[in-house]
Chain A
Protein backbone atom coordinates (compact mmCIF):
# COMPACT_ATOMS: atom_id res chain seq x y z
CA UNK A 1 0.00 0.00 0.00
CA UNK A 2 1.40 3.34 -0.97
CA UNK A 3 2.28 5.81 1.75
CA UNK A 4 -0.03 8.53 0.46
CA UNK A 5 -3.01 6.17 0.65
CA UNK A 6 -2.25 5.25 4.27
CA UNK A 7 -1.69 8.91 5.12
CA UNK A 8 -5.09 9.76 3.67
CA UNK A 9 -6.74 6.86 5.48
CA UNK A 10 -5.23 8.00 8.80
CA UNK A 11 -6.22 11.60 8.19
CA UNK A 12 -9.78 11.10 6.88
CA UNK A 13 -10.78 7.75 8.43
CA UNK A 14 -14.45 7.02 7.89
CA UNK A 15 -14.78 9.47 4.97
CA UNK A 16 -12.75 7.10 2.81
CA UNK A 17 -15.32 4.49 1.91
CA UNK A 18 -13.20 2.08 -0.09
CA UNK A 19 -9.64 1.45 -1.18
CA UNK A 20 -8.99 -0.59 -4.31
CA UNK A 21 -5.55 -1.67 -5.41
CA UNK A 22 -5.21 -3.19 -8.87
CA UNK A 23 -1.74 -3.97 -10.28
CA UNK A 24 -0.24 -1.14 -8.27
CA UNK A 25 -2.92 1.39 -9.17
CA UNK A 26 -4.46 3.04 -6.13
CA UNK A 27 -8.10 4.07 -6.13
CA UNK A 28 -9.91 5.68 -3.24
CA UNK A 29 -13.68 6.10 -3.11
CA UNK A 30 -14.55 8.94 -0.78
CA UNK A 31 -17.67 10.66 0.54
CA UNK A 32 -18.90 13.36 -1.82
CA UNK A 33 -19.04 15.96 0.96
CA UNK A 34 -15.40 15.29 1.89
CA UNK A 35 -14.07 14.95 -1.66
CA UNK A 36 -12.90 18.57 -1.85
CA UNK A 37 -11.09 18.27 1.50
CA UNK A 38 -9.34 15.08 0.40
CA UNK A 39 -8.28 16.64 -2.89
CA UNK A 40 -7.07 19.80 -1.15
CA UNK A 41 -5.03 17.68 1.26
CA UNK A 42 -3.56 15.78 -1.70
CA UNK A 43 -2.57 19.06 -3.32
CA UNK A 44 -1.28 20.87 -0.21
CA UNK A 45 0.34 18.11 1.81
CA UNK A 46 0.98 15.16 -0.50
CA UNK A 47 2.32 17.24 -3.42
CA UNK A 48 0.00 15.89 -6.09
CA UNK A 49 0.91 18.81 -8.32
CA UNK A 50 -0.50 17.46 -11.58
CA UNK A 51 -4.19 16.89 -12.25
CA UNK A 52 -4.24 14.53 -15.24
CA UNK A 53 -7.96 14.52 -15.81
CA UNK A 54 -11.40 14.74 -14.29
CA UNK A 55 -14.09 12.59 -15.78
CA UNK A 56 -17.64 11.69 -14.88
CA UNK A 57 -19.68 8.52 -15.23
CA UNK A 58 -23.42 8.18 -15.77
CA UNK A 59 -24.67 5.11 -13.88
CA UNK A 60 -28.08 5.46 -15.48
CA UNK A 61 -30.76 3.49 -13.66
CA UNK A 62 -28.71 3.21 -10.47
CA UNK A 63 -28.50 5.43 -7.43
CA UNK A 64 -26.48 7.57 -7.02
CA UNK A 65 -26.41 8.46 -10.70
CA UNK A 66 -23.06 10.27 -11.12
CA UNK A 67 -19.51 9.22 -10.35
CA UNK A 68 -16.75 11.81 -10.45
CA UNK A 69 -13.22 10.50 -11.14
CA UNK A 70 -10.12 12.57 -10.36
CA UNK A 71 -6.79 11.36 -11.71
CA UNK A 72 -3.90 12.80 -9.72
CA UNK A 73 -0.18 12.54 -10.33
CA UNK A 74 2.86 13.76 -8.46
CA UNK A 75 6.16 14.65 -9.97
CA UNK A 76 7.53 16.41 -6.89
CA UNK A 77 10.87 15.22 -5.43
CA UNK A 78 11.39 12.73 -8.22
CA UNK A 79 8.35 10.70 -7.21
CA UNK A 80 5.85 9.47 -9.76
CA UNK A 81 2.73 8.29 -7.98
CA UNK A 82 -0.65 7.99 -9.59
CA UNK A 83 -3.75 8.25 -7.44
CA UNK A 84 -7.37 7.99 -8.50
CA UNK A 85 -10.10 9.47 -6.32
CA UNK A 86 -13.76 8.78 -6.96
CA UNK A 87 -16.93 10.04 -5.37
CA UNK A 88 -20.60 9.45 -6.05
CA UNK A 89 -23.17 12.20 -6.55
CA UNK A 90 -26.95 12.07 -6.61
CA UNK A 91 -28.70 13.40 -9.70
CA UNK A 92 -29.57 16.80 -8.21
CA UNK A 93 -26.27 17.30 -6.36
CA UNK A 94 -23.53 19.67 -7.41
CA UNK A 95 -19.84 18.84 -7.28
CA UNK A 96 -17.26 21.10 -5.66
CA UNK A 97 -14.95 22.78 -8.13
CA UNK A 98 -11.23 22.13 -7.70
CA UNK A 99 -10.22 24.86 -10.14
CA UNK A 100 -8.87 26.91 -7.22
CA UNK A 101 -6.32 24.12 -6.58
CA UNK A 102 -5.44 23.11 -10.15
CA UNK A 103 -6.32 25.87 -12.67
CA UNK A 104 -6.52 23.23 -15.43
CA UNK A 105 -9.60 21.81 -13.70
CA UNK A 106 -11.66 24.70 -15.06
CA UNK A 107 -11.73 23.30 -18.57
CA UNK A 108 -12.29 19.71 -17.39
CA UNK A 109 -15.23 20.84 -15.28
CA UNK A 110 -16.70 22.91 -18.11
CA UNK A 111 -16.52 19.85 -20.34
CA UNK A 112 -18.25 17.72 -17.70
CA UNK A 113 -20.96 20.35 -17.35
CA UNK A 114 -21.34 20.56 -21.14
CA UNK A 115 -21.51 16.83 -21.82
CA UNK A 116 -23.04 15.42 -18.63
CA UNK A 117 -24.85 18.35 -17.04
CA UNK A 118 -23.19 18.13 -13.63
CA UNK A 119 -22.82 21.60 -12.12
CA UNK A 120 -19.95 22.80 -9.96
CA UNK A 121 -19.90 24.94 -6.82
CA UNK A 122 -17.25 27.62 -7.04
CA UNK A 123 -16.46 27.25 -10.76
CA UNK A 124 -15.85 30.80 -11.93
CA UNK A 125 -16.43 30.34 -15.67
CA UNK A 126 -19.45 28.05 -15.82
CA UNK A 127 -20.10 28.14 -19.59
CA UNK A 128 -20.35 25.24 -21.99
CA UNK A 129 -17.05 24.43 -23.69
CA UNK A 130 -17.93 22.40 -26.82
CA UNK A 131 -21.61 22.93 -27.57
CA UNK A 132 -23.01 26.44 -27.90
CA UNK A 133 -24.82 28.43 -25.22
CA UNK A 134 -28.50 27.61 -25.56
CA UNK A 135 -28.12 23.98 -26.65
CA UNK A 136 -30.77 22.33 -24.51
CA UNK A 137 -29.34 18.82 -23.96
CA UNK A 138 -26.38 17.06 -22.34
CA UNK A 139 -25.26 14.64 -25.04
CA UNK A 140 -23.09 12.20 -23.07
CA UNK A 141 -25.89 11.19 -20.73
CA UNK A 142 -27.03 7.60 -21.16
CA UNK A 143 -30.62 8.67 -21.84
CA UNK A 144 -29.52 10.87 -24.78
CA UNK A 145 -29.87 8.98 -28.08
CA UNK A 146 -26.84 8.51 -30.33
CA UNK A 147 -28.74 10.14 -33.21
CA UNK A 148 -29.22 13.33 -31.23
CA UNK A 149 -32.34 15.40 -30.83
CA UNK A 150 -33.61 18.29 -32.92
CA UNK A 151 -32.98 21.74 -31.51
CA UNK A 152 -33.00 25.32 -32.76
CA UNK A 153 -31.05 28.33 -31.54
CA UNK A 154 -31.79 31.14 -34.01
CA UNK A 155 -28.70 32.61 -35.73
CA UNK A 156 -26.40 30.39 -33.67
CA UNK A 157 -26.93 26.74 -34.54
CA UNK A 158 -29.50 24.04 -35.08
CA UNK A 159 -29.42 20.26 -34.80
CA UNK A 160 -31.35 17.45 -36.44
CA UNK A 161 -31.61 13.75 -35.72
CA UNK A 162 -28.93 11.78 -37.60
CA UNK A 163 -30.23 8.82 -39.63
CA UNK A 164 -29.00 5.54 -38.15
CA UNK A 165 -30.17 3.04 -40.77
CA UNK A 166 -27.31 0.69 -41.54
CA UNK A 167 -25.30 1.52 -38.45
CA UNK A 168 -23.41 2.38 -36.38
CA UNK A 169 -24.61 -0.07 -33.80
CA UNK A 170 -25.27 0.52 -30.13
CA UNK A 171 -24.73 -2.48 -27.93
CA UNK A 172 -26.79 -2.93 -24.78
CA UNK A 173 -25.62 -5.31 -22.07
CA UNK A 174 -28.30 -8.01 -21.99
CA UNK A 175 -28.46 -11.76 -22.30
CA UNK A 176 -31.42 -11.70 -24.71
CA UNK A 177 -31.25 -12.06 -28.48
CA UNK A 178 -28.99 -10.12 -30.83
CA UNK A 179 -31.92 -7.96 -31.86
CA UNK A 180 -32.24 -6.74 -28.30
CA UNK A 181 -28.51 -6.65 -27.64
CA UNK A 182 -27.69 -4.49 -30.62
CA UNK A 183 -30.59 -2.17 -31.37
CA UNK A 184 -29.48 0.38 -33.92
CA UNK A 185 -30.43 3.29 -31.81
CA UNK A 186 -31.54 3.36 -28.27
CA UNK A 187 -33.69 6.14 -26.94
CA UNK A 188 -34.66 6.36 -23.31
CA UNK A 189 -37.30 8.94 -22.49
Chain B
Protein backbone atom coordinates (compact mmCIF):
# COMPACT_ATOMS: atom_id res chain seq x y z
CA UNK B 1 0.00 0.00 0.00
CA UNK B 2 1.65 3.20 -1.11
CA UNK B 3 2.01 6.00 1.38
CA UNK B 4 -0.03 9.08 0.86
CA UNK B 5 2.29 11.51 -0.91
CA UNK B 6 1.78 14.81 0.79
CA UNK B 7 4.76 17.05 1.23
CA UNK B 8 4.85 19.99 3.55
CA UNK B 9 7.69 22.37 3.01
CA UNK B 10 8.66 25.96 3.65
CA UNK B 11 7.95 26.71 -0.01
CA UNK B 12 4.23 26.95 -0.79
CA UNK B 13 3.85 27.05 -4.53
CA UNK B 14 0.17 27.92 -4.29
CA UNK B 15 0.99 31.25 -2.66
CA UNK B 16 4.45 32.06 -3.81
CA UNK B 17 3.70 31.37 -7.43
CA UNK B 18 1.46 34.45 -7.35
CA UNK B 19 3.98 36.87 -5.96
CA UNK B 20 5.17 39.64 -8.24
CA UNK B 21 8.02 41.94 -7.39
CA UNK B 22 7.41 45.52 -8.47
CA UNK B 23 7.73 49.11 -7.35
CA UNK B 24 5.13 50.80 -5.22
CA UNK B 25 4.67 53.55 -7.84
CA UNK B 26 4.07 51.08 -10.62
CA UNK B 27 1.58 49.06 -8.57
CA UNK B 28 -0.37 52.04 -7.29
CA UNK B 29 -0.43 53.75 -10.68
CA UNK B 30 -1.51 50.55 -12.40
CA UNK B 31 -4.44 50.21 -10.02
CA UNK B 32 -5.41 53.88 -10.22
CA UNK B 33 -5.28 54.26 -13.97
CA UNK B 34 -7.35 51.17 -14.72
CA UNK B 35 -10.19 51.95 -12.38
CA UNK B 36 -10.93 55.62 -12.98
CA UNK B 37 -14.44 56.27 -11.79
CA UNK B 38 -15.81 59.30 -13.60
CA UNK B 39 -17.96 62.02 -12.12
CA UNK B 40 -20.10 62.87 -15.15
CA UNK B 41 -20.59 66.64 -15.05
CA UNK B 42 -22.90 66.71 -18.07
CA UNK B 43 -23.99 70.28 -18.74
CA UNK B 44 -24.81 70.39 -22.46
CA UNK B 45 -24.66 68.42 -25.70
CA UNK B 46 -21.21 66.96 -24.83
CA UNK B 47 -23.05 64.90 -22.22
CA UNK B 48 -24.81 63.03 -25.03
CA UNK B 49 -21.43 62.01 -26.46
CA UNK B 50 -20.32 61.11 -22.95
CA UNK B 51 -23.30 58.75 -22.73
CA UNK B 52 -22.36 57.39 -26.15
CA UNK B 53 -18.84 56.71 -24.89
CA UNK B 54 -20.25 54.70 -22.03
CA UNK B 55 -22.61 52.59 -24.12
CA UNK B 56 -21.90 49.42 -26.03
CA UNK B 57 -20.55 50.71 -29.36
CA UNK B 58 -17.65 52.61 -27.79
CA UNK B 59 -17.64 50.98 -24.35
CA UNK B 60 -15.48 53.06 -22.06
CA UNK B 61 -15.49 49.99 -19.77
CA UNK B 62 -12.58 48.65 -21.86
CA UNK B 63 -10.48 51.26 -20.05
CA UNK B 64 -11.94 50.69 -16.62
CA UNK B 65 -13.88 53.94 -16.54
CA UNK B 66 -17.42 52.67 -16.90
CA UNK B 67 -18.49 53.26 -13.31
CA UNK B 68 -20.15 56.65 -13.63
CA UNK B 69 -20.61 57.80 -10.05
CA UNK B 70 -23.20 60.42 -9.41
CA UNK B 71 -21.70 61.05 -5.99
CA UNK B 72 -18.49 63.07 -5.97
CA UNK B 73 -17.34 61.17 -2.85
CA UNK B 74 -16.85 58.01 -4.94
CA UNK B 75 -15.29 59.58 -8.03
CA UNK B 76 -11.73 59.89 -9.30
CA UNK B 77 -12.05 61.91 -12.49
CA UNK B 78 -14.48 64.71 -13.22
CA UNK B 79 -15.47 64.88 -16.87
CA UNK B 80 -16.77 68.41 -17.42
CA UNK B 81 -18.94 67.86 -20.49
CA UNK B 82 -20.59 71.03 -21.68
CA UNK B 83 -21.06 74.76 -21.31
CA UNK B 84 -20.28 76.03 -17.83
CA UNK B 85 -22.44 79.07 -17.21
CA UNK B 86 -21.57 81.46 -14.42
CA UNK B 87 -24.77 80.36 -12.71
CA UNK B 88 -23.47 76.76 -12.64
CA UNK B 89 -19.77 77.53 -12.11
CA UNK B 90 -19.65 77.54 -8.32
CA UNK B 91 -21.78 74.39 -8.18
CA UNK B 92 -19.20 72.61 -10.37
CA UNK B 93 -16.45 73.93 -8.09
CA UNK B 94 -18.29 72.64 -5.02
CA UNK B 95 -18.70 69.15 -6.52
CA UNK B 96 -14.99 69.17 -7.39
CA UNK B 97 -14.08 70.15 -3.82
CA UNK B 98 -16.17 67.23 -2.52
CA UNK B 99 -14.19 64.68 -4.54
CA UNK B 100 -11.47 62.90 -2.52
CA UNK B 101 -7.80 63.02 -3.52
CA UNK B 102 -6.28 61.88 -5.77
CA UNK B 103 -8.53 63.36 -8.43
CA UNK B 104 -8.24 64.42 -12.03
CA UNK B 105 -10.26 66.54 -14.42
CA UNK B 106 -11.01 66.16 -18.12
CA UNK B 107 -12.38 69.26 -19.88
CA UNK B 108 -14.49 67.71 -22.61
CA UNK B 109 -15.19 69.86 -25.66
CA UNK B 110 -14.72 73.48 -26.66
CA UNK B 111 -17.06 75.04 -24.09
CA UNK B 112 -15.54 73.39 -21.02
CA UNK B 113 -12.01 74.08 -22.31
CA UNK B 114 -12.39 77.74 -23.32
CA UNK B 115 -16.00 78.88 -23.35
CA UNK B 116 -16.21 77.73 -26.97
CA UNK B 117 -18.50 79.74 -29.18
CA UNK B 118 -20.07 81.42 -26.16
CA UNK B 119 -18.07 84.65 -25.91
CA UNK B 120 -20.82 85.93 -23.70
CA UNK B 121 -21.71 87.61 -20.44
CA UNK B 122 -23.26 84.37 -19.18
CA UNK B 123 -20.56 81.75 -19.77
CA UNK B 124 -17.38 80.96 -17.85
CA UNK B 125 -14.51 81.08 -20.35
CA UNK B 126 -13.08 77.66 -19.55
CA UNK B 127 -13.44 75.50 -16.44
CA UNK B 128 -9.68 75.88 -15.84
CA UNK B 129 -10.54 79.28 -14.38
CA UNK B 130 -11.88 77.42 -11.36
CA UNK B 131 -10.41 73.91 -11.18
CA UNK B 132 -7.13 72.40 -12.46
CA UNK B 133 -7.58 70.50 -15.73
CA UNK B 134 -5.41 67.52 -16.67
CA UNK B 135 -6.66 66.78 -20.18
CA UNK B 136 -8.45 69.01 -22.68
CA UNK B 137 -10.45 67.23 -25.38
CA UNK B 138 -11.15 69.32 -28.48
CA UNK B 139 -14.35 69.07 -30.50
CA UNK B 140 -17.87 70.47 -30.51
CA UNK B 141 -18.86 67.99 -29.26
CA UNK B 142 -15.93 65.54 -29.39
CA UNK B 143 -16.55 62.08 -30.83
CA UNK B 144 -16.53 59.29 -28.23
CA UNK B 145 -13.20 58.13 -29.69
CA UNK B 146 -11.74 61.54 -28.85
CA UNK B 147 -12.95 61.33 -25.27
CA UNK B 148 -11.52 57.82 -24.96
CA UNK B 149 -8.20 59.08 -26.31
CA UNK B 150 -8.33 61.84 -23.70
CA UNK B 151 -8.92 59.19 -21.06
CA UNK B 152 -5.92 57.20 -22.35
CA UNK B 153 -3.78 60.35 -22.18
CA UNK B 154 -4.88 60.74 -18.56
CA UNK B 155 -3.95 57.10 -17.94
CA UNK B 156 -0.48 57.82 -19.36
CA UNK B 157 -0.18 60.81 -17.08
CA UNK B 158 -1.18 58.75 -14.03
CA UNK B 159 1.28 56.00 -15.04
CA UNK B 160 4.11 58.55 -14.92
CA UNK B 161 3.20 60.06 -11.56
CA UNK B 162 5.12 59.47 -8.32
CA UNK B 163 2.21 58.17 -6.32
CA UNK B 164 4.16 56.48 -3.52
CA UNK B 165 6.38 59.47 -2.89
CA UNK B 166 3.36 61.75 -2.88
CA UNK B 167 1.59 59.39 -0.52
CA UNK B 168 4.31 58.57 2.00
CA UNK B 169 6.11 61.88 2.20
CA UNK B 170 4.59 64.86 3.87
CA UNK B 171 3.35 67.65 1.64
CA UNK B 172 6.19 69.97 2.72
CA UNK B 173 8.98 67.49 1.92
CA UNK B 174 7.64 66.29 -1.39
CA UNK B 175 9.41 67.78 -4.40
CA UNK B 176 8.22 66.45 -7.74
CA UNK B 177 11.12 65.36 -9.93
CA UNK B 178 9.40 65.92 -13.22
CA UNK B 179 7.29 68.92 -14.05
CA UNK B 180 3.66 67.85 -14.19
**Chain A interface (Cβ < 8 Å from any Cβ of B):** 130-132, 137, 139, 144-149, 155-160, 162-164, 167-168
Contacts of A132 in B (CB 8 A): 87
In the complex, the answer to whether B120 meets A156 with C-beta atoms within 8 Å is no
What DSSP secondary structure best describes chain B's contact surface? loop
In the complex, the answer to whether A158 meets B120 with C-beta atoms within 8 Å is no
In the complex, the answer to whether B125 meets A160 with C-beta atoms within 8 Å is yes
Q: Does B1 contact A (CB under 8 A)?
A: no
- Interface mask (B106-130 → A, CB under 8 Å = 1, otherwise 0): 0000000001011111111100010
A139 to B86 CA separation, bound complex (whole angstroms)? 14
Q: Does B164 contact A (CB under 8 A)?
A: no
How many residue pairs between the two chains, A and B, have CB atoms under 8 Å in the bound complex?
Answer: 46
In the complex, the answer to whether B119 meets A157 with C-beta atoms within 8 Å is no
- Interface mask (B61-98 → A, CB under 8 Å = 1, otherwise 0): 00000000000000000000000001101100000000
Sort chain B's interface into a size bin: 10 to 19
In the complex, the answer to whether B90 meets A157 with C-beta atoms within 8 Å is yes
Q: Which chain B residue has the least Cβ–Cβ distance from A165?
A: B119
Which interface residue of B90, B118, B119, B124 has the most chain A CB atoms within 10 A?
B119
Pick the residue among A139, A155, A168 that contacts B121 (CB under 8 A): A139
With A131-B87, A132-B87 already in contact, the answer to whether A159 and B121 are too (CB < 8 A) is yes
